[in-house]
C-alpha cells in the first residue's frame, strides 16, 4: 500500500515494544521510583496527550505518575485479555489476533515513556520504581503468556491459518505470535509453568540491578588532575571539557576526566602521562568488578544460570539455541562460522599492528611493553606517521549540528524527507532537540527527538527507540515519535560541540535506526525484529557519512565555514583500513564471549573473571587488546542483545553488500533507495528477514564487500 495514498500514514518503531512483544520477550525498565500516588485526574497518562502531535507531556510527567499508571495499565490489559477469552463467538483473526494486538494500550504508552526517561534521564525515584515494577511487570507478562484459554484461541487461529485468506503481514503475525506463546511456556504443564514464573521474576530483578550498578560505577570514578603539567599532550577541547567537568563536581581549579567515552577516549589518545592513561582505562574496564556493593560478577553468574535453566525448561539445550531460533542467523553454528572466519582473518592483522606500535615505543627509548591502555595513544602516533592525519585536525570540521544536518540531507536525497526544528515543545531533557519530519509531498511523517550529550542521569552509549511506534492501530493512523540518544562532547567555552570521526559514524548509525522507525509502514503494533537484521538500516547509513560528496556538504570548519579540503578527505579515505585489526578483534572478542556465556548447557556457578580469562586465552586474544566489553559491564547482553551481539557483524555483511547496490548505480539512485525503503524500512519486523533482503537486492548477500571494507581480504 502506498503510504502517501493514506492521509496521515505515519511510521515506525525500532525495537517495537508493543504490549504483545512486551509480554513475549520482556523489557528492561530503566530507573524510576515509589512516591505518593497522584490523583487520577492529575495523571497525564490517563487522558489523551494535549500536546502538539500528541507527544508525551514531559513537562508535567512526574515520577509519582508512573506506578498508578502502570497499575491501571495492567488492570486494563487484564480486562482486554478477559474480553478476548470470554468472547462467546467462534475464534476469528479479528476477535483474537487483532484484539490481542490492540490490548494493553495504556500499559504500552506508560512503558515507552518510562523506558525512554529512565535510560536517558534517570534519578533515585525512577530507579526505585524500576526495582519495584520490574518483577511486577514480569509477573503480569507471565499471567498473559501462560493464559491457557488465550493460548487455545491463538492456537486455533494458527492451525486454520491457511484457510483464513490472510495477507503476508497477517500470516507472519499469526505464525510468530503462536510460536512466541510456545516459546514462553504455553505448552508447559502447571508445575513447569510455576518454575518458569519464578525464573522470570528472578531474571527481571537481576537485570535491573546489573544496569543500575554499571551506571553508578561509571558515574562514581573521577580522574582528578591537579597539576597542569599532567595535561601534557591533550587537545584544548579535552582540557576545556575537563575544566567544566571539574566545576560540575565542585572541584574548580582542577581538571576532571571520567569513564564516559567523550572524556576518556581523547585522554587515551593524547595524554603523555602513561600512568594516568592506565588509571583511567583500568577504571573503565573494572566497572562492576571492584568487589563492592555494585559488583556485578555474581549478578552476571546468576543471570547466566537462570537463562540456562529457562532454556532447558522450555526444551532448548542452550540459551543461544532459544534466542537464535528466531534470529536471521538461525543457530549457533552459523554464528560461530562467521565469527571464527573473521577472527582468523583479523587476529594476525591485530598482531601486526601491535608490533608496529611496539616499534614506536622502542624507537622512543621508553623501554616498556605495549599495554592495552597504550593502544590508542600509539595508534594515534602511527596514524600521524602513515597518513599525516590526527583527530584534532578533523574535529574542527565536525560541528555536531552540521553533522546532524548532513544526516538530514542524506535522508532528503534518498527519501525526500525534510526536518523542521520545533520550538515550545515538551522535552524529555533540556538538552534535547525536536524535529517534525515531513514526507516529500509535505505531509507529516513523524516526530524526532535527538539528545546528544552525556550526563550522570544517562546510561552510556548510543541508541534509538520510540515514545510511540507507527502502526494503523486502535482504529486510527498512529504516527511515530522517535527518540535518538547519544553521548557526545558538549560545547566548550565559546566553541560549538565538535565530535570525532567515530562519533560522526555513530550519529549516522543511530539516525539510520531513526529512519527505520520513521519510515515504517505496517498495520499491527506487534512486530518481530531481529538485531542481526535491524542493524542493517543503521549501519548502511554509516557508509554515506564518509562519502566525499556527503563530507563536502556537512563538514564545514567551525570558524571559517569552509568545506573540508580535498586533501583531508583523501587522508580519511586512505586511512580507512587503519587500525582495523584492533577494531575488529576488540569487537569479535566481545561477540565470542557473549556466545560462550550463552552456549553453556547446564546451570552452574561461574567465576566470571576466571571464565573470561580462560576463554580469551583459548581463542588467542593478545594481552594488548581487551575485549570491547567485559561481562561485568556488558549491558548489551543483559538486555536485548544476549546471544546477539554478533548481530552487528552479521548485519555488516548485509549493509556492505547493500551499499554496493548504490555504488553500482549512484550514491542517491532513486530506484535503489525506493527499493530499500519498500523492501526493508517499511516492512522490518513483519516479514522473513532473508526474503526482505532478497526482495531488495535480487539475491542473497555476499560477504566479500565486508571483507574488503575491513581489509580482511
Residue 391 confidence (pLDDT): 85
Residue 8 confidence class, pLDDT cut points 50, 70, 90:
very low
Residues carrying CATH 1.10.1370.40, the chain: 3-213
State the pLDDT confidence band at 496, using cuts at 50, 70 and 90: very high
In 587-656, the DSSP E strands lie at none
Question: How far is 480 from 144, CA to CA, in rounded Å?
Answer: 27
Task: Provide the pLDDT confidence category of residue 243 given band limits of 50, 70 and 90.
Answer: very high
Mean pLDDT, rounded, for 635-646? 95
Is it the case that residue 270 has pLDDT exceeding 90? yes
Whether the Cβ atoms of residue 32 and residue 133 lie closer than 8 Å to each other? yes
Q: What is the pLDDT of residues 505-560, one digit of tens each?
A: 999 999 999 999 999 999 999 999 999 999 999 999 999 999 999 999 999 999 99
- What Rg value do the Cα atoms of the chain yield, rounded? 25
Torsion of CA 38, 40, 42, 48, to 10 degrees: 130
Count Cα neighbours of 213 within 13 Å in the Cβ-side half-sphere. 27
Among the listed residues 572, 557, 488, 541, the one whose alpha carbon sits nearest the alpha carbon of residue 667: 541
Q: pLDDT for 185-206, tens place per residue?
A: 999 999 999 999 999 999 999 9
Say if residues 339 and 592 touch (Cβ distance below 8 Å). yes
pLDDT at residue 439 above 70? yes
DSSP string across 457-482: TS-SS-EEEEEE--EEETTEEE--EE
**Mean predicted confidence (pLDDT) in 498-508:** 96
Q: Is the pLDDT of residue 9 over 70?
A: no
- Model confidence, pTM: 0.92
Q: Exposed e or buried b for every residue in 506-530, given b needs 16+ CB within 10 A?
A: bbbbbbbbbbbbbbbbbbbbbbbbb
Do residues 519 and 682 touch, judged by C-beta distance below 8 A?
A: yes
Separation between Cα atoms, residue 682 and residue 705, nearest integer Å: 25
| Residue pLDDT, tens place only, 140-182 | 999 999 999 999 999 999 999 999 999 999 999 999 999 999 9
* Rounded Cα distance, 283 and 85, in Å: 54
Listed in sequence order, the residues at least 6 apart from 75 whose beta carbon sits closer than 8 Å to its beta carbon are none
Phi and psi at residue 631, to the nearest 5°:
-60, -35
Among the listed residues 514, 545, 532, 515, the one whose alpha carbon sits nearest the alpha carbon of residue 701 = 532
* Cα 461 to Cα 485: distance, rounded to the nearest angstrom: 8
Per-residue model confidence as pLDDT tens digits over 11-65: 333 333 333 333 333 333 333 333 344 555 599 999 999 999 999 999 999 999 9
Separation of alpha carbons 234 and 254, rounded Å: 15
Q: Which CATH architecture has domain 3-213?
A: Orthogonal Bundle (1.10)
CB 303 within 8 Å of CB 296: no
Q: In what order do the strands lie in the sheet with 463-468?
A: 418-421, 433-438, 444-451, 481-485, 463-468
C-alpha distance across the termini of the chain, in Å: 42
Cα angle for residues 570, 571, 574 (degrees, 5° grid)? 85
* Percentage of the residues of the chain whose pLDDT score is greater than 90: 91
pLDDT of residue 40: 54
Question: Concatenated DSSP letters for 38-77?
Answer: PPGGG-GGGS---SGGG---TTT--GGGHHHHHHHHHHHH
- Cα gap 341→360, rounded to integer Å: 30
Mean pLDDT of the chain: 93
Of the candidates 3, 101, 116, the one whose C-alpha atom is nearest the C-alpha of residue 55 is 116
Q: How many CA atoms lie less than 13 Å away from 96 in the CB half-sphere?
A: 24
Q: Compute the distance between CA of residue 12 and CA of residue 522 in angstroms, rounded to an integer.
A: 8
Torsion of CA 516, 518, 519, 520, to 10 degrees: 80
* Lowest-confidence segment of 3-12, 418-427, 442-451 by average pLDDT: 3-12
How many Cα atoms are found within 13 Å in the side-chain-facing hemisphere of 640? 25
Q: Does residue 304 surpass a pLDDT of 90?
A: yes
Q: Dihedral angle at the C-alpha atoms of 11, 16, 20, 25, nearest 10 degrees? A: 170
CA distance linking residue 407 with residue 419, whole number of Å:
10
* Cα–Cα distance measured from residue 384 to residue 390, given in angstroms and rounded to the nearest whole number: 6
| 510 has catalytic annotation | yes
On whether the CB atoms of residues 500 and 391 are closer than 8 A, the answer is: yes
Find the catalytic residue in 18, 157, 510, 542. 510
Per-residue model confidence as pLDDT tens digits over 344-354: 999 999 999 99
**Per-residue pLDDT, 39:** 56
61 CB burial (10 A radius; 0-12, 13-18, 19+): buried
Q: Return the number of other C-beta atoms located less than 10 Å from residue 42's C-beta.
A: 12
State residue 447's pLDDT score: 98
Whether 575 has a pLDDT exceeding 70, the answer reads yes
Environment class of 709 (CB within 10 Å of its CB; exposed 0-12, middle 13-18, buried 19+): middle
- Count of C-beta atoms within a 10 Å radius of residue 147: 20
- Contact (Cβ atoms closer than 8 angstroms) between residue 518 and residue 482: yes
Instruction: Tell me the average pLDDT across 429-457.
Output: 97
Residue 12's closest CA among 538, 481, 510, 485?
481
Amino acid at each position: 500500500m502506498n503510504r502517501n495514498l493514506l492521509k496521515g500514514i505515519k511510521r515506525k518503531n525500532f525495537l517495537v515494544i508493543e504490549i504483545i512483544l512486551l509480554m513475549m520477550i520482556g523489557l528492561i525498565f530503566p530507573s524510576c521510583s515509589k512516591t505518593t500516588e497522584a490523583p487520577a485526574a492529575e495523571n497525564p497518562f490517563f487522558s489523551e496527550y494535549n500536546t502538539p502531535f500528541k507527544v508525551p507531556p514531559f513537562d508535567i510527567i512526574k515520577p509519582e505518575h508512573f506506578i498508578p499508571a502502570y497499575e491501571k495499565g495492567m488492570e486494563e490489559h487484564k480486562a482486554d485479555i478477559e474480553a478476548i477469552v470470554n468472547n462467546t463467538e467462534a475464534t476469528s483473526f479479528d476477535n483474537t489476533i487483532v484484539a490481542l494486538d490492540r490490548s494493553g494500550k495504556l500499559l504500552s504508552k506508560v512503558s515507552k515513556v518510562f523506558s525512554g526517561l529512565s535510560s536517558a534521564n534517570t534519578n533515585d525515584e525512577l530507579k526505585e520504581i524500576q526495582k519495584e515494577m520490574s518483577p511486577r511487570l514480569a509477573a503480569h507478562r507471565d499471567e498473559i503468556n501462560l493464559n491457557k484459554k488465550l493460548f487455545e484461541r491463538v492456537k486455533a487461529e494458527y492451525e486454520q491459518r491457511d484457510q483464513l485468506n490472510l495477507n503476508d503481514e497477517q500470516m507472519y503475525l499469526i505464525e510468530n505470535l503462536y510460536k512466541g506463546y510456545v516459546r514462553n511456556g504455553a505448552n508447559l504443564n502447571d508445575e513447569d509453568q510455576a518454575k518458569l514464573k519464578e525464573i522470570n521474576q528472578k531474571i527481571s530483578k537481576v537485570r535491573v540491578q546489573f544496569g543500575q550498578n554499571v551506571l553508578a560505577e561509571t558515574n562514581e570514578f573521577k580522574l582528578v588532575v591537579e597539576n597542569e603539567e599532567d595535561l601534557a599532550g591533550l587537545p584544548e577541547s579535552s582540557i576545556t571539557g575537563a575544566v567544566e567537568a571539574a566545576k560540575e563536581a565542585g572541584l574548580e581549579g582542577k581538571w576532571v576526566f571520567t569513564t564516559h567515552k567523550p572524556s576518556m577516549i581523547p585522554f587515551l589518545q593524547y595524554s603523555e602521562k602513561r600512568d594516568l592513561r592506565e588509571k583511567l582505562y583500568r577504571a573503565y574496564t573494572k566497572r562492576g568488578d571492584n568487589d563492592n556493593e555494585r559488583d556485578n560478577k555474581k549478578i552476571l553468574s546468576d543471570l547466566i544460570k537462570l537463562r540456562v535453566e529457562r532454556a532447558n525448561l522450555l526444551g532448548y539445550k542452550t540459551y543461544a539455541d532459544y534466542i537464535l531460533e528466531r534470529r536471521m542467523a538461525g543457530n549457533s553454528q552459523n554464528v560461530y562460522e562467521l565469527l571464527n572466519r573473521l577472527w582468523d582473518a583479523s587476529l594476525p592483522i591485530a598482531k601486526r599492528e601491535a608490533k608496529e606500535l611496539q616499534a614506536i615505543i622502542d624507537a622512543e627509548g621508553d623501554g616498556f611493553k605495549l599495554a592495552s591502555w597504550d593502544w590508542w595513544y600509539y595508534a594515534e602516533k602511527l596514524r600521524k606517521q602513515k597518513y599525516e592525519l590526527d583527530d584534532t585536525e578533523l574535529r574542527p570540521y565536525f560541528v555536531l549540528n552540521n553533522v546532524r544536518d548532513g544526516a538530514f540531507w542524506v535522508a532528503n536525497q534518498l527519501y525526500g524527507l525534510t526536518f523542521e526544528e520545533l520550538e515550545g515543545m515538551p522535552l524529555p531533557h533540556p538538552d534535547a532537540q525536536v524535529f517534525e519530519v515531513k514526507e516529500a509531498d509535505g505531509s507529516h511523517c513523524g516526530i524526532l527527538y535527538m539528545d546528544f550529550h552525556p550526563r550522570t542521569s544517562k546510561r552510556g552509549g548510543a541508541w534509538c527507540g520510540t515514545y510511540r511506534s507507527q502502526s494503523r492501530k486502535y482504529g486510527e493512523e498512529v504516527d511515530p515519535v522517535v527518540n535518538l540518544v547519544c553521548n557526545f562532547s558538549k560545547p566548550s567555552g565559546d566553541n560549538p560541540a565538535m565530535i570525532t570521526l567515530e562519533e560522526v559514524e555513530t550519529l549516522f548509525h543511530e539516525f539510520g535506526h531513526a529512519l527505520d522507525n520513521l519510515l515504517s509502514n505496517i498495520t499491527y503494533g506487534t512486530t518481530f525484529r531481529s538485531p542481526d537484521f535491524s542493524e542493517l538500516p543503521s549501519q548502511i547509513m554509516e557508509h554515506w557519512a564518509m562519502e566525499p560528496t556527503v563530507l563536502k556538504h556537512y563538514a564545514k570548519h567551525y570558524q571559517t565555514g569552509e568545506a573540508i579540503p580535498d586533501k583531508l578527505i583523501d587522508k580519511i579515505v586512505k586511512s580507512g583500513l587503519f587500525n582495523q585489526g584492533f577494531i575488529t578483534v576488540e569487537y569479535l572478542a566481545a561477540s565470542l564471549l557473549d556466545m560462550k556465556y550463552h552456549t553453556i548447557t547446564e546451570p552452574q556457578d561461574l567465576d566470571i573473571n576466571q571464565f573470561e580469562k580462560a576463554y580469551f586465552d583459548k581463542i588467542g586474544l593478545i594481552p594488548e587488546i581487551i575485549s570491547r566489553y567485559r561481562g561485568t559491564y556488558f549491558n548489551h547482553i543483559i538486555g536485548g542483545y544476549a546471544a546477539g551481539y554478533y548481530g552487528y557483524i552479521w548485519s555488516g555483511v548485509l549493509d556492505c553488500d547493500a551499499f554496493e547496490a548504490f555504488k553500482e548505480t549512484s550514491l542517491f539512485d532513486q530506484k535503489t533507495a525506493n527499493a530499500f525503503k519498500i523492501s526493508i524500512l517499511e516492512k522490518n519486523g513483519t516479514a522473513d528477514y532473508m526474503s526482505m533482503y532478497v526482495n531488495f537486492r535480487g539475491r542473497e548477500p555476499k560477504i566479500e564487500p565486508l571483507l574488503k571494507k575491513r581489509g580482511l581480504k
